[in-house]
Amino acid sequence: MAQNAKVTVHPAYKVGEISERLFSAFLEPIGTMVNGTMFNPKHPTADEQGFRRDFIDALKKTKVPAVRLPGGNFVSAWQWKDSIGPRDQRKVHLDPAWHQYILNDVGHDEYLQWAEKVGTEPLYTVNMGTGTIQDAMDLVEYTNQAGGTYWSDLRKKNGHEDPYDVKMWYLGNEMDGPWQLGSWDKNPEGYGHKVLETSKAIKWIDETIETGVCGSSAPFMEGFPAWDEAVLDKCYDVVDYVSVHHYHTAAPGDTKALLGGSLYYEDFINTEIAMIDYVASKHRSPKQVMLSFDEYGAMQRPLQELHPGYGRYNMARNHYRFDPERRYILHDPDNMPERQFPGGDMINALSMASIQLALLRHADRVKIGCMTGGLPALAASNHDHVWRAASHYVFMQLMKYAKGVALDAKVESETYDMPGYAIEDTSQYTGKEGVNYIDAASAWDEENNRLAVFVINRNEESDYPLTVDLKGFEGYKPTGAYKLHTNDLELKNTYENDELLMPEEEKDYTFENGEFKLYVKPLSWNVYVFEKE
């Protein structure tokens, strides 16, 4: 039996307001996400635009607040003007970022109209690789201007009378990445100046919008965080967010490193916040730029061969290779390969939830969070069906209960050490000492007198006797306790049974003198809700 663990929450431990956009998703036309899942004109549920209504209906029920679209690396050479109007007149292009054909069956209007059908806010990414300032201006005018101009009237002609009123615009994607078309890896000041002029121009077209500038694509980037600083120093006064991405990786079976990966996210966030505030001080600016963590994920991947002396900072060299045998892929939405990930639902749900808790703990500055696998997490799918994986239930509980303000949940528990490791040359992790087995975050909806505490047990073997100290919340009592746990880590929900893994009510607890006590299962997700009468 493990030693007692304790989580203390108090109304004085406020971190910051929780944005509705914090639990959002990301969409890009690679793999089956667009071609096959979102769009398949041959699917039995396809609507008049070719969208799968089963997928739309499933997402609509979740009320996912926002989706970043249409990419991703895809947008670095995408010509949006060739994706509008009658489909049979649209231009087909090559997508060098992903070595695929872009048929533009799903174009600018379709992405935004799909978002309308789902009932989610589109967060739009602009081509700042091969795209120009004028392209971005025309795009915003086409999208948001009511009428009376060439581009806005063309939108009406193309079938959408009202403006889409898109509020959030990302100016590029991973612009420090040599894998991008038009990368600014070697010239951050140039990119920062382009963002300055682009953001200024599109805000003069629609002064209600917000814009985001790209920060580092990962904490492993050679220029991090100096690249970010150089960019932001050029455009601080005209942007609202810094956009960052990270994908945490651990070796198969190394669950401690996988679930401890949220600490690297926090390191990344803390560094970016310090960089932003340093630039603000240089500009003598009272403005506070926020963070958008709009691509993130966690995965298990075998350790790769390392090349001593080749170094960890060789992303550019790795992406300046040319394979004469490589061919462009033409995707058929009705004949897409199924993607099968190893292992069951539980570890994947926990690894993603651990990152979401890290974002929640920084809700004062992280205002947008778009899980890369957020749409399949909410609505898993294959060629024929849609169902709820275990991640669906976790995501839904966060959207439901993480309201109001984030609180700093003080954790006391047994700890473990994570030795440093390298997945490959560019993904190298320093070790971490004293990692709590209990991972926690909290949200207080003061207006509705509701407190939620979220707990992950990272321990693979032991139940934990856990105390949640609520003495500062006088009059609050438990109104709901839920746990998600399985002894079979290979278990997966399916279309035939998507309730194999779902939270169940926890009834075996005590509550006395402001202390909520119970045992938490190993490798489990737990939610405790308290309300004031």
The string of pLDDT tens digits covering residues 205-219 is: 999 999 999 999 999
Average pLDDT, the chain: 95
Q: Side chain identity at 410, as an amino acid letter? A: K
* High-pLDDT (> 90) share of the chain, %: 89
Of 110, 121, 210, 295, the active-site residue reads: 295
CA 338/CA 32 separation, integer angstroms = 8
Q: Kindly report the pTM of this predicted structure.
A: 0.96
**Mean pLDDT along residues 146-166:** 98
Peptide bond into 337 cis (omega under 30): no
pLDDT-based confidence at residue 312 (cuts at 50, 70, 90): very low
**Mean pLDDT within 1-24:** 94
Residue 386 pLDDT greater than 50, yes or no = yes
Q: Is the pLDDT of residue 189 over 60?
A: yes
Question: How confident is the model over 218-246, as pLDDT tens digits?
Answer: 998 989 999 999 999 999 999 999 999 99
What is the pLDDT, as a whole number, of residue 25?
98
Is residue 315 very low, low, confident or very high in pLDDT (cuts 50, 70, 90)?
Answer: low
* Range 490-495 contact pairs with CB under 8 angstroms and sequence separation of 24 or more: 490/343, 490/344, 491/344, 491/345, 491/346, 492/344, 492/345, 492/389, 493/345, 493/380, 493/387, 493/388, 493/389, 493/390, 494/387, 495/382, 495/384, 495/385, 495/386, 495/387
* 266 classed as catalytic: no
pLDDT on residue 425 = 80
447 belongs to the catalytic site = no
Which of 141, 174, 229, 506 is the catalytic position?
174
- Is pLDDT at 314 greater than 60 in this prediction? no
pLDDT band at 337 (very low <50, low <70, confident <90, very high): confident
Q: Which residue has the higher pLDDT, 323 or 251?
A: 251
pLDDT digits (tens, 9 = 90+) for 417-465: 999 998 888 888 999 999 999 999 999 999 999 999 999 999 999 899 9
- Residues in CB range of 310: below 8 A, 6 or more apart: 425
pLDDT tens across 483-532, in order?
A: 999 999 999 999 999 999 999 999 999 999 999 999 999 999 999 999 99
Whether residue 310 is predicted with pLDDT greater than 60 in this model: the reply is no
pLDDT at 152 over 80: yes
CB 205 within 8 A of CB 145: yes
Amino acid identity, residue 123? L
- Domains in the chain (CATH in brackets) are 19-403 (3.20.20.80), 410-532 (2.60.40.1180)
